[in-house]
Chains A and B, each alone.
Chain A
Amino acid sequence: MTPGTWLLKFAPLVFNERFIEIVVRPTIADLQSEVAAAGSNHVKRVRARCRGYAAFWTLMLVAPFASWSEERANVASGLAAGSVIVTLLTVVALGLWTALVAAGATLVALLLHTWYERHPSEIAVPPVAWRSPQINFSSTDIAGNIGGLIFVVGSVLIVSLALPSIFWFLLTGGIAACFVAWGLAAWHTRARKADWTCAERPPRLLL
């Protein structure tokens, strides 16, 4: 197969016709002419291919900035190209592990969303519209059920992966929080029995 054939098939998915004609086809033509010029020398052919493919993937990065290329690819193509670029940049800049963790976090977010869609729970609504623009987990309203538990455990895991130096602090804090939660649950149970704070409040279902 002539080198660059599948790149030509892939190009219309992410580039517009004008960009392909003026930029992509000459780039692939250079790749093919260099490989042909390398003759039967295997090493030279491999090097020519590597240079040509690197040039093509560089186009993926610079294409969004080619403002002279008037017509735009459709939204789905742009989204696909953007995803490829973001993935490549994440892998190159932050490493494969970070890219996998980001993909895993996205998956967990989708799972949580699906869970809440199927099990709508009583999520508290903030009493006032204004909220302080700070990142503060304590002000995040979550339900007191298994969905909330997944959120908390997931958040702690993500933070501990990002900041391993505070792992022991998080572990100790998690254990302490379990004791506090146990104490609160016991107190609420006794209060409900005594019927002086949580009067007529129905018990919350865990699942």
Chain B
Amino acid sequence: MLPTKERLILELLVSEGPMFGLQLVERSGGALKRGTVYVTLGRMESKGFVESEQETPDPGAIGLPRRIYRPTALGERMLRAWATFTREVAWEVKP
């Protein structure tokens, strides 16, 4: 079972490449919220679906470095498997 938000994040990361959390929120069209996106990403990281690293801060930049997220091989495989599963189920239940 792949929750909707996790599937959306994996789709965005696979199709558009590594992104910051805020970029994911902006690209999701309102499906992801800034207050909860990192909780979802943290859960996905603990499952092994995504990995993250801190950005290299620009010289003279003020503030904390952001985290950039990318899908793991397991995450990409999970997304493909889930897509296949939903397609098969949709075909099975098609009248």
Say yes or no: B36 contacts A58, CB within 8 Å.
Answer: yes
Say yes or no: B36 contacts A62, CB within 8 Å.
Answer: yes
Say yes or no: A51 contacts B34, CB within 8 Å.
Answer: yes
Evaluate whether A66 and B64 lie within 8 angstroms (CB atoms) in the complex, with A33-B22, A55-B34 already known.
no
Residue of B nearest to A67 (CB): B43
Residues of A within 8 A of B61 (CB): 36
Q: In which size bucket is the chain B interface?
A: 20 to 34
Evaluate whether A26 and B21 lie within 8 angstroms (CB atoms) in the complex, with A2-B62, A36-B62 already known.
yes
Say yes or no: B43 contacts A32, CB within 8 Å.
Answer: no
> Does chain A have a CB within 8 A of B5?
no
Residues of B within 8 A of A34 (CB): 22
> Does chain B have a CB within 8 A of A54?
yes
Residues of A within 8 A of B38 (CB): 22-23, 26-27, 59
Interface of B (DSSP majority class):
mixed
Interface of A (DSSP majority class):
helix
B residues 1-49 near A (Cβ < 8 Å) are 20-22, 33-36, 38-39, 41-43, 45-47
Say yes or no: A58 contacts B35, CB within 8 Å.
Answer: yes
Residues of B within 8 A of A90 (CB): none
Residue of B nearest to A3 (CB): B63
Bound complex: CA A59 to CA B67 (Å): 17
Max count, chain B CB within 10 A of own CB: residue among A2, A52, A56, A62: A62
> Does chain B have a CB within 8 A of A25?
yes
16 pairs from A and B in contact (CB 8 Å cutoff): A4-B63, A22-B38, A23-B39, A26-B21, A29-B63, A30-B21, A30-B22, A51-B34, A54-B35, A57-B35, A58-B35, A59-B35, A59-B38, A59-B39, A62-B35, A68-B43
Residues of B within 8 A of A51 (CB): 34
